[in-house]
Amino acid sequence: MNRIQQAFQSKQNLLNIYFTAGYPSLHDTLPLAKAITEAGADILEIGMPFSDPLADGPVIQGSSTVALQNGMSLPVLFEQLQGLRAALPEVPVLLMGYLNPVMQFGMEKFLAQAAAVGVDGLILPDLPLDEYQELYQPLFEQHGIRPVFLITPQTSEARIRRLDGLTDAFLYLVSGPGTTGGTTPTDTQAQQAYFERIAALSLRNPRLIGFGIASKAAYEQACRYADGAIIGSALIQALQDTDDAPAAAARFVRSIKA
């Protein structure tokens, strides 16, 4: 059983916290990872900064811009994560990013290095599903890296079931239209119907709800319809204009889980 499965079997209402590698300072990655998990996060999602992220709103885009200016890159990130498992032996760790930098790095090399430092899963929102199955699924399986796929309110039942059959991690339920950190008012009834529709499918994988989850109340609401929630932009905002990023991150996570 992998670390992701163990987390879902041993806990309820999981909190997945996203942060951008290399933000606010280049060497904050591992200190932030430790502070966030010690404060109560159940899963870590480390963002690999990219100049043209399709799913990220302005907050995470801004953090990626700063991280890239700081000198963050995939080789730097893998070097920083050498001490990951010594510091966090049991916490599931995901990398989240986009296909272009991974392809430039080399998919097989990327998966091998991710596995070597103890990464459990990978979220690539722009990886075509057919391409994953035809070209990359054997490599993911060879290196023990679990793909995490996104589901939106527009995703058909047939595609949802296909995605559910291609992973043994979890499914990422995008809460509504727009990018991460969105503030557009949502149709609460439509959103509830969407969550209930997914729950009624009796999928084999657990589900986490993300996009627009920014408070304890929103986290608790998400937990009513899924196995937990994903928070990213709100954490990044908590790191802005702080002299102690790990302490600020820990305070934010405690404010959600307390």
- Phi then psi dihedrals of residue 25, to 5 deg: -120, 155
Domain ranges of the chain: 3-257
Please indicate whether residue 164 is annotated as part of the active site: no
Average pLDDT over residues 239-244: 94
Give me the catalytic one of 42, 45, 164, 227.
45
**Token digits for 43?**
């899963």
Judge contact between 205 and 167, C-beta under 8 A.
Answer: yes
pLDDT of residue 80: 97
Lowest mean pLDDT among 45-54, 153-162, 175-184, 209-218: 175-184
DSSP 16: E
Judge contact between 20 and 60, C-beta under 8 A.
Answer: yes
Is the bond preceding 101 in cis, omega lying within 30 degrees of 0? Answer: no
Alpha helices in the chain, H assignment, sequence order = 3-10, 29-38, 58-70, 74-80, 84-87, 99-105, 107-117, 129-131, 137-143, 157-165, 188-199, 216-225, 233-239, 245-257
Instruction: For residue 38, give Cα distances in angstroms to 121, 251, 254.
Output: 20, 11, 10
The C-alpha atoms of residue 233 and residue 58 are separated, in whole angstroms, by 9
Class of the CATH domain delimited by 3-257: alpha beta
Average pLDDT over residues 208-227: 95
The C-alpha atoms of residue 53 and residue 45 are separated, in whole angstroms, by 16
Q: How confident is the model at residue 186 (pLDDT cuts 50, 70, 90)?
A: low
Q: How confident is the model at residue 258 (pLDDT cuts 50, 70, 90)?
A: confident
Judge contact between 149 and 167, C-beta under 8 A.
Answer: yes
The C-alpha atoms of residue 207 and residue 224 are separated, in whole angstroms, by 11
Please indicate whether residue 56 is annotated as part of the active site: yes
The C-alpha atoms of residue 160 and residue 157 are separated, in whole angstroms, by 5
The C-alpha atoms of residue 56 and residue 232 are separated, in whole angstroms, by 10
**Token digits for 246?**
């790990």
Express each pLDDT in 28-70 by its tens digit.
999 999 999 999 999 999 999 998 877 778 999 999 999 999 9
Average pLDDT over residues 94-115: 97
The C-alpha atoms of residue 23 and residue 27 are separated, in whole angstroms, by 8
Residue 180 has pLDDT above 70, yes or no: no
pLDDT of residue 175: 86
Residue 87 has pLDDT above 90, yes or no: yes
Give me the catalytic one of 28, 42, 52, 56.
56
The percent of residues above 90 in pLDDT, for the chain, comes to 89
Judge contact between 225 and 190, C-beta under 8 A.
Answer: no
Residue 139 has pLDDT above 60, yes or no: yes
Tell me the average pLDDT of the chain. 94
Residue 182 has pLDDT above 60, yes or no: no
b (16+ CB within 10 A) / e for 68-92: bebebbbebbbebbeebbeebeebb
